[in-house]
């Protein structure tokens, strides 16, 4: 009796496995709806921007941030952020003049401001969360600021 149950269980498992594999196959494989085909597009961005982050799409434009390292004459590095827009066809790259990256809070402080997060709401207002990181005399300040640009 025990041997019969094991054999029956094996046959049932093999039959279920075959049915599961065959269930995914379709005889009419050409009947798929072509409107769901994904085709990627690329937009070339100038190399001098260094790097981009925080991509947002609004009103047929792509908005993004670029965090720049600025090498100063006294061999120090400060950080600055900028917001750019570009048309979806790759033309019309523009710096958004409404956003001004803040300067150092203290005259001798090193560091800068980096945009961590950017969001565009339904009205077209651009919201950014900035990370202010400065150091002076081995003291490090790091502050998060959120504000609207447009």
Residues lower than pLDDT 70 in the chain = 1, 24-34, 36, 76-78, 102-110, 136-150
List, for residues 110-122, the tens digit of each pLDDT value. Answer: 677 788 888 888 8
Residue 34, helix vs strand vs coil: helix
What H or E segment, with its residue span, contains residue 55?
Answer: strand 53-58
Q: Give the global pTM.
A: 0.61
Question: Which residue, among 45, 53, 48, has the nearest Cα to 131 in the 3D structure?
Answer: 53
């Amino acid at each position: 009796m025990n041997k019969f149950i094991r054999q029956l269980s094996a046959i049932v498992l093999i039959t279920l496995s075959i049915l599961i594999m065959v269930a995914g196959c379709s005889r009419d494989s050409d009947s798929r709806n072509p409107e769901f085909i994904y085709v990627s597009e690329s937009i070339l961005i100038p190399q001098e921007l260094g790097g981009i982050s925080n991509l947002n799409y609004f009103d047929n434009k792509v908005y993004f941030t670029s965090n720049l390292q600025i090498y100063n004459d006294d061999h120090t590095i400060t950080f600055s952020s900028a917001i750019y827009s570009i048309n979806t066809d790759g033309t019309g790259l523009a710096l958004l003049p409404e956003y001004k990256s803040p300067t150092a809070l203290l005259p001798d402080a090193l560091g800068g401001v980096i945009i961590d997060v950017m969001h565009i709401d339904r009205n077209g207002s651009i919201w950014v969360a900035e990370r202010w990181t400065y150091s002076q005399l081995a003291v490090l300040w790091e502050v998060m600021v959120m504000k609207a640009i447009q």
